[in-house]
């Protein structure tokens, strides 16, 4: 049986090209696309993702999706089956609330993946771009939340952290306390 650490993979790459059951989108509360990974996922996935997000907004979150929540949509033209959209917190300083909300964004995404019987899910670094969450503080929150979840759940079998740049990958590894890989 694989250990929790063996179920976590950390790579550099483009999340929109991964063949996994679900990718996680670091979305904004409008769910209508934006910059960074959010924009890349919407562009690569095409109109089907935007249409699904519009429907979610109308039915579930007419005033915008709250921070820490997560929802599922089609993956459109992406090679994954699903996109799990989650809204991470904006960093405003030394903020315990933001830390808890970041953990909730990962946890709620993982719960959706488990409920949909996803065997594999890929995460970007949530909130570390335009939302300004310090990468050095986000990394241990992300890694610990995922590792704790995997210790208690059979699914997903594999969680992949995907970083667009080598520098972000190395920051994540060092700040999450991961040696080698």
What pLDDT does 93 receive? 80
pLDDT at site 140: 96
How many CB atoms lie under 10 A from the CB of residue 148?
15
pLDDT (0 to 100) of residue 1: 66
Q: How many residues does the chain have?
A: 181
- Residues in the chain with pLDDT values less than 70: 1, 179-181
End-to-end CA distance of the chain: 19
Sequence ranges of the domains in the chain: 5-175
**DSSP state letters, 14-36:** -GGG--SSEEEEEE-TT-S--SH
Could you identify the residue written with the tokens 């759940």? Answer: 153
* DSSP count for the chain of H helices, then E strands: 5, 6
pTM of the model: 0.95
Number of neighbouring beta carbons within 10 Å of residue 27: 28
| 31: nearest Cα among 76, 62, 10, 77 | 62
Q: Is 94 in the active site?
A: no
Query: What is the C-alpha separation between 24 and 86, in angstroms, rounded?
Result: 7
Neighbours of 62 (CB within 10 A): 8
Residue 13: strand, helix, or coil: coil
**Cα 149 from Cα 145, distance rounded (Å):** 6
Using one digit for the tens of pLDDT, what is the confidence trace for 143-176? 999 999 999 999 999 999 999 999 999 999 998 8
pLDDT at 169: 94
Lookup: tokens for 97: 């609330």
Handedness of CA 141, 144, 146, 148 (dihedral sign): negative
pLDDT of res. 156:
98
Selected catalytic residue, list 38, 94, 148, 168:
38
| CATH class, range 5-175 | alpha beta
């Amino acid at each position: 049986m694989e250990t929790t650490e063996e179920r976590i993979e950390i790579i550099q790459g483009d999340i929109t090209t991964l063949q996994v059951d679900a990718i996680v989108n670091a979305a904004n509360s409008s769910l209508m696309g934006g910059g960074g990974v959010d924009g890349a996922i919407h562009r690569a996935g095409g109109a089907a993702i935007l249409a699904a997000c519009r429907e979610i907004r109308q039915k579930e979150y007419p005033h915008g999706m709250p921070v820490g929540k997560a929802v599922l949509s089609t993956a459109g033209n992406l090679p994954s089956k699903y996109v799990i959209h989650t809204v991470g917190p904006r960093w405003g300083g030394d903020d315990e609330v933001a830390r808890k909300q970041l953990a909730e964004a990962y946890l709620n995404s993982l719960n959706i993946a488990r409920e949909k019987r996803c065997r594999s899910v890929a995460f970007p670094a949530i909130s570390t771009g335009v939302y300004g969450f310090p990468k050095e503080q986000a990394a241990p929150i992300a890694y610990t939340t995922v590792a704790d979840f995997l210790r208690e759940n059979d699914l997903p079998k594999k969680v992949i952290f995907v970083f667009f740049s080598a520098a972000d990958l190395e920051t994540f590894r060092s700040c999450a306390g991961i040696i080698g890989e």
